[in-house]
Amino acid sequence: MDTVRPAADAKNIRLQSVLDPAAGPVLGDSERLQQIVWNLLSNGIKFTPKRGRVQVCLQRINSHVEIIVADTGQGISAEFLPYVFERFRQADSSITRSFGGLGLGLAIVRQLVELHGGTVHAESPGEGQGAAFTVKLPLMAVGPTVIEPERVHPAVGGSVPFDCSPRLDGLKILIVDDDADIRDLLTYTLEVCGAEVIAAASADEAISTLTESSTPMNILISDIGMPDEDGYALLRRVRALEPEKGGGIPAIALTAYARTQDRRAALLAGFQSHVAKPVEPAELIAVIANLAGRIKGI
């Protein structure tokens, strides 16, 4: 929720939570579970108009934990509901142009939820009437018999503190992502830490920025899953440039594809680092500082 809050604030969207901190435990990968919720929240904020509302509810229902992400956005037609979790499917092809993205977020949610032994389903009264996504995850069959730990506010549990250390003053960073919310979030995060940030929405825009900039860029951060040309195609074009035009710029792959083979593919493609969505600001800042020679050994 902290990660998507700047995107919600930018659209005056109320981000509400009703969370039971004692609902669990479930057995799973904490980063992938975070990715499930991040994808659902990002989707809700993207398709909710200004001054709307996105609500997250966490509760225990019998032998399952339920996570419900509901919004007051554009909703889903009855005809499209059965296909909402399919890869590369969107209710309207113009959505790619209007909102960005390839229609992969919900497909990734379903895959990750099912790998955890759970289920996910979508509900919507219809177009223009909002939508709700419910994730059900099984409780652990046998819980450990330990003293109940101190309850931590759900907004801070498990996250790396964001303290802008090290600083990024003097660095010029190019961000490439077709999702406007992600561009705004990353721009805000890095500028707070002192960097100068230029954001591009496509590979063509990124190449123009690199070749026409009066001063060289220090770091490239690119999404992988973009329409028309993906991050791999962009990096091939970048590496074909002359060094003085940015051909040798250190590059970070930023992607929802977070498996080991995805990280390996990014590194083999020529990226120096791979950072999975949802983005932990402290991790991204550390990676940038390391590539820029500000710190060693990360």
148 in Cβ contact with 76 (< 8 Å): no
Q: Does 87 have pLDDT greater than 70?
A: no
Q: What is the number of alpha carbons within 13 Å of residue 100 lying toward its C-beta? A: 19
Specify the pLDDT at position 157. 42
- Quote the distance between the C-alpha of residue 220 and its chain's center: 17
The pair of three-digit structure tokens given for residue 226, joined into one six-digit string = 């973009």
**227 closest CA partner among 59, 96, 107:** 96
pLDDT per position as a tens digit, 45-85:
989 999 999 999 999 988 899 999 999 998 998 888 888 88
pLDDT per residue as tens digits for the range 258-296? 677 888 888 888 999 998 877 778 888 999 999 988 765
Give the side-chain half-sphere CA count within 13 A for 61.
11
Q: What is the DSSP string of 63-128?
A: TEEEEEEEE-SS---TTTGGGTTSTT--S-THHHHHH---S-HHHHHHHHHHHTT-EEEEE-SSTT
Tokens read off for 49: 């108009």
Asked if residue 173 lies in contact with residue 221, where contact means CB atoms within 8 angstroms, the answer is: yes
Share of residues in the chain with pLDDT > 70 (%): 84
pLDDT above 50 (res 43): yes
Residue 102: name the closest of 111, 93, 115, 114 by CA.
93
Cα separation, 188 vs 170, in Å, equals 16
Tens of pLDDT, residues 100-123? 444 567 888 999 999 999 999 999
Distance from the first to the final alpha carbon of the chain: 26
What are the beta bridge partners of residue 58? 19, 67
Q: Where are the alpha helices (DSSP H) in the chain?
A: 5-10, 30-46, 94-99, 105-115, 180-192, 203-212, 231-239, 260-268, 281-291
Nearest Cα to Cα of residue 221 among 190, 265, 264:
190
The three-state secondary structure class of 41 is helix
> Model pTM?
0.58
